Chains A and B, each alone.
Chain A
Amino acid sequence: MPQVAIIDYGSGNLRSAAKAFERALDGKGEVAVTAEAAALAHASHIVLPGVGAFADCLRGVTALPGMVDALRRQALEGGKPFLGICVGMQLLADRGLEHGDHAGLGWIGGEVRRLEPRDPTLKVPHMGWNEVATAAPHPLFEGLSNAHFYFVHSYHFVPKAAAARLAVTDYGGGIAAAVGRDNLVGTQFHPEKSQSAGLRLLANFLRWRP
């Protein structure tokens, strides 16, 4: 039975992420919202949510005693399935260029830059439902070919390696809708706000055996 740990570092609305996972689990597993580094040892799946600014979120995570080390040990080295959502995904980059130049966790090579859609009529933030196409089949997107997900962001992840870009959406040019490698995945969109497609993606994540 999956034991999902959602990291609570004071970022926005964890309630919806927790509720969406509970719905996706349908009673067959547990969800814990936690600020305790030690709790990750008991988790089978680790989720790093995030809304707000890059540096604020990073500060929030690093302020939790032992949390970055625990994430590294359990997810990066330990191989537990890891999902970053929105800014939680962007934190995996080497650096973030929102309000300055900030070092990220550096788990997936690349940087987070401001959206500059080629079409000047396109607004920033990129806000609403957009179609997501996978670069190659990935278990996270099983049954979700060209599904719509809810986005709200002004910065986007530009991965160094093309292979790290798992899925793309079009907003005045292709932008990374999901990134990942090995047991690590991150979505720019909010699966917890994406109705049935989002719940399906969370269920896929829970079934995933990387």
Chain B
Amino acid sequence: MLKVRLIPCLDVKGGRVVKGVRFVDLRDAGDPAEQARLYDAAGADELCFLDIAASHEARDILLDAVSRTAEQCFMPLTVGGGVRTLEDIRRLLLAGADKVSINTEAVRRPEFVSEAAEKFGSQCITIAIDARRTPEGFGVYTHGGHNAAGIDAIAWAQRMAALGAGEILLTSMDRDGTKLGFDLDLTRAVVDTVPIPVIASGGVGTLDHLVDGVRQGHAQAVLAASIFHFGEHTIAEAKNHMKAAGVAIREPPAP
């Protein structure tokens, strides 16, 4: 049976980790590749790099980190942030990313999603949707949650799937950074209407939140950042907790 994926996410800025694990045995805690290596050894199911500045100047540093990660990590790596052209995707995939996540550019030009899926295959196209509650339901936001796109998030997710997205990375901007748990209504509403896998994101503060995202949110994967970053929890603790709660999860490697 297919297992739920637990995906740690590293925020990267200027090619350096800005929010990441405070592992004691890191030679260089700011190096995404170093952190990736430890998550790989810990049995993370996938890893996500989010380039939060996505500046042109720092792009080569990010590509270098992706290629160094791919050299020593044998797990899937998704890279997002600033993906605007087919050439951006090509460079990330050649560097060793397995998937790219696209957000603002999909809103600006939805046909970019079908172009990307046709060229590289749906399996490597993740659509990141940042959503907030609105009086009407859930709305799509861009630019890190600042700009309302004026689109219904559920309809948008369906459209993205129809255009060839391989999965959806769904972040509640209301919950992101709050540690109050996923927006389960949002998660369930999207998961139950799209035919492709959904990663729940935004708000994880406890291990129970991970369980809730799966059992109540119906998500195929759960993404968390801060609970792993400051040594609050390890991947193994999270997985063991989810397993004990009845979630089908791949066991962490024996210590």
Contacts and interface: CB of A to CB of B under 8 A. Distances in A.
Interface of A: 12-13, 15-16, 19-20, 23, 51-53, 121-131, 148, 150-154, 170-171, 190, 192-196, 198-199
Contacts of A148: 3, 250
B252 to A, nearest CB: 11
B197 interface: yes
Contacts of B70: 13, 15-16, 19
Contacts of B122: 125, 154
Contact of B120 (A52, A126, A127): A52
A124 B122 CA distance: 11
Interface of B: 1-5, 40, 43, 45, 67, 70-72, 74-76, 93-98, 120-124, 166-167, 194-198, 218, 220-221, 250, 253
A129 B40 contact: no
A13 B66 CA distance: 12
Contacts of B124: 12, 51
A126 B220 CA distance: 10
The A interface, classified by DSSP as helix, strand, loop or mixed, is: mixed
Given A123-B197, A130-B2, 17 more contacts: A12-B93, A13-B96, A15-B71, A19-B71, A123-B220, A127-B166, A128-B45, A129-B2, A129-B5, A130-B1, A150-B76, A152-B76, A152-B123, A152-B166, A154-B123, A195-B40, A198-B74
A123 B195 contact: yes
Contacts of B166: 125, 127, 152
Nearest to A52: B121
A143 to B, nearest CB: 14
Given A15-B96, A127-B197, A195-B40, A51 B74 contact: no
A151 B195 CA distance: 17
B40 A126 contact: no
Contact of A193 (B67, B76, B94, B218): B76
A125 B74 contact: no
5 tightest Cβ-Cβ pairs between the two chains A and B:
A52-B121, A123-B197, A129-B250, A152-B123, A130-B2
A190 B198 CA distance: 21
Contact of B197 (A19, A23, A125): A125
Contacts of A122: 2
Contacts of B94: 13, 15
A193 B250 CA distance: 15
Contact of A171 (B2, B5, B253): B2
Nearest to A126: B2
12 contacts: A12-B124, A15-B71, A19-B72, A52-B121, A121-B218, A127-B123, A128-B2, A131-B3, A190-B76, A193-B75, A193-B98, A194-B75
A157 B251 CA distance: 28
B3 A124 contact: no
